[in-house]
Structure 1
């Protein structure tokens, strides 16, 4: 396929990982469909990059509202065509205390954004990709999906659901030429993580993450933890005996945070 003809559709594109991925795809000669709640900010940022007007477009959507995602997808199909890659990146990290009744609403928001939002992002493109016979769906999960961490019951559960949903889709769509890639970022330097007051091992620049994510998507890998050092950590966590994990997790301070990517 000639440079400049390939198209990527990215949600949560107005900051952090989404913005870095958009810039990486543009640098590789792709066209980009940028989906964000803050459309004016997104357009201002894109124009400041000096990108050719024919290489990008911005669509407004809140992934918690499926109708807005569907409208953005249809607008993309009509004006730019069917994407080759769809990246469901929009998400939030919110601490949850399940002893508090009011945090049930927080939990619902987490699930609506991270899980239903991912499904709503993929849904409009699955049948068209099937008919075309190829495409890549990318779910941005987290290393938090591996084990449940104190203070983050909702976020860990939501990102674990992302991993399982992508795995399910991978099996369902394999015979249709559609690949499903699951990315599990560790600590990435974004507006979301800059407010953290605790140590963040192997902190990575968003641009470096985007480089590695771009390569993983291009190769259609099934699962990739970025950076690799966090991959080692997640492997250890995955196989750690429950009694040992419970002892370590139980000693951790209960932290509550609220950040939207």
Structure 2
């Protein structure tokens, strides 16, 4: 079991907060990063109550220089890092016919995919050689979903990115874990306008994720039913897939008022209806 310092992005709510609490142990240094300071402080106080030594810093994962400095400062204070969990992500519906969705598309790719690389490359120089990197993907990355081109593309990219990183770091001794959640009961999924089968409690999800990371497991889909669904989706012929999914309702677009309320950069756990 890894016992050293842990870094978690998107730690202000959802899976990020739940992960912070399952890693919060007596004397363990935790670095909690997120876009908004107030939710981070809530997570930090809960983690401190469990004995962890916590730093909570507001930063956007698109801010490369800021991440680099934070990584250096944290390592100087607490030594080699054991685990980095790149969890920060956003989820909105996008439509190709809506030109105003262009900046939303770019924001999703920047946060979910480029932000993951920004995080990993910032902390890698300070990661123990036998350390762990975990990234949060999504079952929405298995196939392209209607009304979710940006989100599906970003999560498919995350899966490919983490696989490349796993191979790149193998000789170094660093384990890379790709986590692909289905529906998790977080603020990000709270406004979804469609049924969410096998909705999982975030604390239960976090415990399963920690076990996978501590074991150095390369791949995890939660809940297990979504692993079966994902395997089927990956192998469906195009004609069958198109017939099944062409009418599926996508996630709400950011331009809609109710979605603006749910604009939370916390955990990428909300694939459109599958």
Q: Greater CA deviation, 46-55 or 251-260?
A: 46-55
Partners in 2 of 1:19 and 1:122 — Cα distance?
A: 19
| Corresponding residue for residue 157 of structure 1 | 153
| Corresponding residue for residue 130 of structure 2 | 134
| Corresponding residue for residue 38 of structure 1 | 36
Match of 1:171 among 167, 181, 205: 167
Partners in 2 of 1:103 and 1:52 — Cα distance?
A: 42
Residues 174-215 of structure 1 show CA distances to partners (whole Å, capped at 9, x for unaligned) of 000011100001000000101112100000000000010000
| Corresponding residue for residue 25 of structure 1 | 23
Q: CA deviation at 1:69?
A: 1.9
Partners in 2 of 1:190 and 1:40 — Cα distance?
A: 17
Number of equivalent positions: 257
* 7 and 233 in structure 1: CA distance in 2 versus 1, 3 angstrom threshold: same
Partners in 2 of 1:223 and 1:257 — Cα distance?
A: 30
* Contact persistence 1:12–1:35 (CA under 8 A): yes
Q: CA deviation at 1:105?
A: 0.9
Match of 2:143 among 141, 147, 167: 147
TM-score for both structures, normalised by structure 2: 0.88
* Contact persistence 1:9–1:34 (CA under 8 A): yes
| Corresponding residue for residue 105 of structure 1 | 103
DSSP-derived class of the 2:195 partner: coil
* Contact persistence 1:142–1:183 (CA under 8 A): yes
Partners in 1 of 2:5 and 2:58 — Cα distance?
A: 18
Higher relative contact order, structure no. (Cα contacts within 8 Å, ≥ 6 residues apart): 2
| Corresponding residue for residue 250 of structure 1 | 246
Q: What runs of 5+ residues in structure 1 fail to find an aligned partner? A: none
| Corresponding residue for residue 269 of structure 2 | none
Partners in 2 of 1:147 and 1:210 — Cα distance?
A: 25
| Corresponding residue for residue 272 of structure 2 | none
DSSP-derived class of the 1:108 partner: helix
Residues 232-255 of structure 1 show CA distances to partners (whole Å, capped at 9, x for unaligned) of 110111111111001111121344
Matches within 5 A, 1:1-261: 6-27=4-25, 30-48=28-46, 50-51=48-49, 55-129=53-127, 132-258=128-254, 259-260=263-264, 261=266
Q: Greater CA deviation, 57-66 or 202-211?
A: 57-66
Partners in 2 of 1:144 and 1:202 — Cα distance?
A: 15
* Contact persistence 2:24–2:52 (CA under 8 A): no
Q: What runs of 5+ residues in structure 2 fail to find an aligned partner? A: 255-262, 267-274
TM-score for both structures, normalised by structure 1: 0.92
Runs of 4+ in 1 over 4 A off after TM superposition: none
Q: Greater CA deviation, 239-248 or 119-128?
A: 119-128
Partners in 2 of 1:202 and 1:33 — Cα distance?
A: 31
